[in-house]
């Protein structure tokens, strides 16, 4: 039989730990599972790894960049889908506010408005991104993905990469 004092002790510890964990995941960092093929080969969905099976890479998402929207060209970010507020996307920032971006298949050149960014997936043929829905508000960005942390054989830091010839100097 468990005494009331012991039960109260564990309840307080659990509640305290949950509040600390929630604060950390809300303000500093969180872990996100990658779904879909839009970021292959940088991020892989459907990886099967022992001892547990997860439906994709797990990435560490830091949120300190949100304080003053400190993003750079080539950052991998988690953002809300502008067409479906319940869905999150993981994409690479190609252009920042004020940049002119070339859209290859249409040969259009678009200026990214203030307060917005242009995001695209690394797997160009299998990505629904800014080419479909246009620039997204920086307010939809939920954090910057910095590392793949699972599966163990794929642990690495995510590099900033930019496709060549996309930013125009008009």
Active site residues: 38, 91
CA distance 101 to 108: 8
Beta bridge partners of 143: 78
**Nearest alpha carbon to residue 129 among 64, 66, 170, 77:** 77
| Strand 136-137, strand 141-150: pairing | unpaired
Q: How far is CA 67 from CA 44, 91, 103, 137, 162, in A?
A: 29, 20, 30, 15, 24
Tokens in use for 17?
């730990």
The alpha carbon dihedral of 58, 89, 55, 15 has a sign of: positive
């Amino acid at each position: 039989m468990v005494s009331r004092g012991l039960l109260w002790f564990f309840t307080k510890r659990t509640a305290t730990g949950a509040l600390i964990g929630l604060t950390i995941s809300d303000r500093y960092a969180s872990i996100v599972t990658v779904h879909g093929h839009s970021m292959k080969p940088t991020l892989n969905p459907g990886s099967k790894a022992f001892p547990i099976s997860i439906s994709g890479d797990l990435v560490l998402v830091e949120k300190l960049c949100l304080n003053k929207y400190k993003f750079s060209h080539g950052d991998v970010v988690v953002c809300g889908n502008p067409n479906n507020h319940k869905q999150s996307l993981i994409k690479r920032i190609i252009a920042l506010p004020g940049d002119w971006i070339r859209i290859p298949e249409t040969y259009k050149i678009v200026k990214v408005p203030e307060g917005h960014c242009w995001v695209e997936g690394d797997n160009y043929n299998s990505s629904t991104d800014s080419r479909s829905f246009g620039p997204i508000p920086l307010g939809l960005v939920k954090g910057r993905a910095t590392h793949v942390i699972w599966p163990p054989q794929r642990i690495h830091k995510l590099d900033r990469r930019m496709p060549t010839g996309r930013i125009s100097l008009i």
